[in-house]
Amino acid sequence: MEQKSRELEHASAELRSANERLKELDRLKDDLLTTISHELRTPLTSIRSFSEILQDNQDLGRAERRRFLKIIIKESERLTRLISQILDLAKMEAGRMDWQMRDVDTKNVIDDALAATSSLFADRGIRLDVHLPDRLPRVHADRDRLMQVIVNLLSNAVNFCDERDGQVRVDAEAHANEIRVHVTDNGHGVPPELRRTIFEKFRQGPDVAGSKPGGTGLGLSICRQIVEHFGGRIWVTDDAGRGARFCFSVPCAPAQAPATAAS
């Protein structure tokens, strides 16, 4: 009887734990629907409003029309990114992502990601310090997805670095049989209690003002799934109390793996 009682107690504890997890998943689902609805509605509202202004006011000056068209294009790009994130996540979780795996020139991918985000740094007046070796070993990866990870980390760094004197640093190194890439900002950093959950779906950290940030909270989760598909890992640390340092590692392509760690 005593053993049966212990077994029932154990089973009850497991059921309670499972019930709490289901409640948490249900809450996350509700949060997702709310967040996605809001994030999709915002650019759609802007696109529609400024399109109607352009249609209804044919006598607008050229400069004003150009300004409104620039907003429409920017919001359209934002909407495309949001939809792409949602579709990417759905494909990954269903195991239907089309991976184009091949040996990739790591430094070339990093350079392309830096070029793709250069306007973000210029628009915000943020200083970018890049420290890359002349050459890096190749990695076996999907080039576009690897670039997606780096672009996402760079974009996040721009959004979260110091507003008055923003600085972002990018480093990469060959370490043993893997490539490590680090993107460091000089913002408020990521609190210790968020470092383990920030790569989960729909998790977002507070912005520099402590308010709820924009976005779906899917970017870092997608980055984690991409990096893990390549056999690597992704993590975040403080940069000696001066900001956040997001890092990821990807194994070198077999024929290119160095025998010893780079100094």
| pLDDT of res. 262 | 45
> How many Cβ atoms are within 10 Å of 127's Cβ, its own excluded?
12
H-state helical runs in 165-241: 219-229
| pLDDT of res. 209 | 41
Alpha-carbon distances of 29 from 24, 66, 87, 197, 199, rounded to whole Å: 9, 40, 16, 16, 16
| pLDDT of res. 116 | 92
| CA–CA distance, 245 with 258 (Å, rounded to integer) | 25
Phi, psi dihedrals of residue 84, rounded to the nearest 5°:
-60, -40
Answer for the pair 114, 128: CB distance below 8 angstroms, yes or no.
Answer: yes
What SS3 class is residue 117?
coil
Structure token pair of residue 237: 């640390």
| pLDDT of res. 246 | 94
| pLDDT of res. 25 | 62
Beta bridge partners of 141: 102
| pLDDT of res. 208 | 43
| CA–CA distance, 251 with 104 (Å, rounded to integer) | 11
> How many Cβ atoms are within 10 Å of 114's Cβ, its own excluded?
17
Phi, psi dihedrals of residue 215, rounded to the nearest 5°:
95, 170
Check: pTM over 0.75? Answer yes or no. no
- pLDDT tens, position by position, 192-206: 777 777 887 655 554
| pLDDT of res. 162 | 85
Catalogue all structural domains in the chain, each as residue range(s) with its CATH number.
2-94 (1.10.287.130), 101-256 (3.30.565.10)
DSSP 240: T
Q: Which residues of the chain have pLDDT under 70?
A: 24-36, 38-39, 201-217, 239-241, 255-263
